[in-house]
Structure 1
């Protein structure tokens, strides 16, 4: 009887190996502490980093996102933490866009007033 390994299992094993390489590289840079629940802000920071990495498009982005998700999961963080951080970033982004639009509008008004 032959045992066939399901492609899902192979994919997870391959992805986990890539995640481990990214974690080792981060440790080599001195990054640590995600597993220390005594650091109260770490859960929020990890959720923020996951969200920030969603907009990156460099090699290793998938592994970074997965590693942040793993850290949050292993810390037992409430998934609501991710939503809270996402909502905060969405508000910041919206405010930034509104400020840029308002600045451009004011610039155009000033130019028109100067030309009149």
Structure 2
């Protein structure tokens, strides 16, 4: 997922030669959230250390790395991401057009028929 997220990020960065995957207004909101969250996360890493941080401290290095680590957590540690960074989880749901936490919750409760694929 890490490397795939890099490719998605590069694809969106090359707006001259490509079509954005998400509308610019959504990109602007996401960038605002990411930059604010990175600052908070960097403070967390400095305060409690890399090993105790709520997610991989590498994410604090820059916005591109934050996006990549966020994408990893969206698919592999979705409960942590949804709890710790709820707004960014919501942005990821819209970006990736799926809600893995909703699927996981439905699966655990036996309501798998309640799972929707977002178009």
Length-normalised TM-score, structure 1: 0.31
Q: Which has the larger radius of gyration?
A: 1
* TM-score of the two chains, using structure 2 as the length reference: 0.30
